[in-house]
């Protein structure tokens, strides 16, 4: 009986974890769903004509911004632990969300900057790992600990290099930068 109870508890814990993951995935999908983008854009238009809607609009924007920032935080944690698959997953959702919500959110510029900083953070981490390994290799005599650090650095760098989803994220990131540059050029000509 006791082993059955333990087995049931383990199954319940596993189901709770899966439900939590599914709930998180559903919340993330809401950020880039077409309906959310249209709703937010329409709400913004209504707010301009009906001032009494403004508090509700701000509340909705705050909710979307919180979800976006939670995703950014998750991506940052993935960078810290060198989980490039998880980072890529979050970065793709962030990219889709930015494109979807850009016409409706109040602080879209700040969110775009956080998204861009995410890639700067990742590049800095990879660069720091590379520098550390290079510095160790310059030593005349390597200690056992140095060899382990170099091996770990190579594992992390290889993992990043072999992540095709990470490559896709950088492509999306750079294409978004190009779009921003083109938009600023066009808006500069119109002024």
Question: pLDDT value at position 153?
Answer: 95
Largest interatomic CA distance in the chain: 77
Contact 189, 173 (CB under 8 A): no
pTM: 0.77
Residue 54 to residue 70: CA distance in whole angstroms: 24
Across the chain, what does the average pLDDT equal?
Answer: 83
Element containing residue 71 per DSSP (H, E): helix 54-80
* Structure confidence by residue, pLDDT tens digits, 106-147: 788 899 999 999 999 999 999 999 999 999 999 989 999 999
Question: pLDDT value at position 25?
Answer: 66
């Amino acid at each position: 009986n006791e082993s059955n109870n333990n087995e049931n508890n383990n199954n319940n814990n596993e189901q709770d974890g899966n439900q939590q993951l599914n709930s998180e995935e559903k919340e993330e999908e809401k950020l880039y769903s077409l309906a959310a983008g249209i709703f937010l854009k329409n709400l913004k238009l209504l707010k301009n004509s009906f001032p009494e809607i403004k508090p509700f609009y701000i509340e909705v924007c705050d909710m979307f911004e919180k979800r976006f920032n939670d995703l950014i935080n998750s991506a940052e944690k993935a960078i810290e632990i060198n989980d490039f698959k998880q980072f890529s997953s979050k970065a793709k959702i962030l990219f889709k969300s930015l494109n979807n919500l850009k016409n409706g959110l109040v602080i879209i510029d700040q969110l775009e900057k956080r998204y861009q900083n995410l890639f700067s953070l990742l590049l800095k981490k990879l660069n720091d790992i590379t520098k550390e390994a290079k510095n160790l290799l310059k030593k005349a005599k390597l200690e056992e600990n140095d060899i382990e650090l170099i091996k770990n650095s190579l594992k992390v760098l290889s993992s990043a290099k072999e992540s095709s989803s990470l490559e896709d994220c950088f492509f999306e990131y750079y294409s978004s930068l190009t779009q921003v540059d083109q938009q600023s050029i066009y808006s500069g000509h119109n002024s």
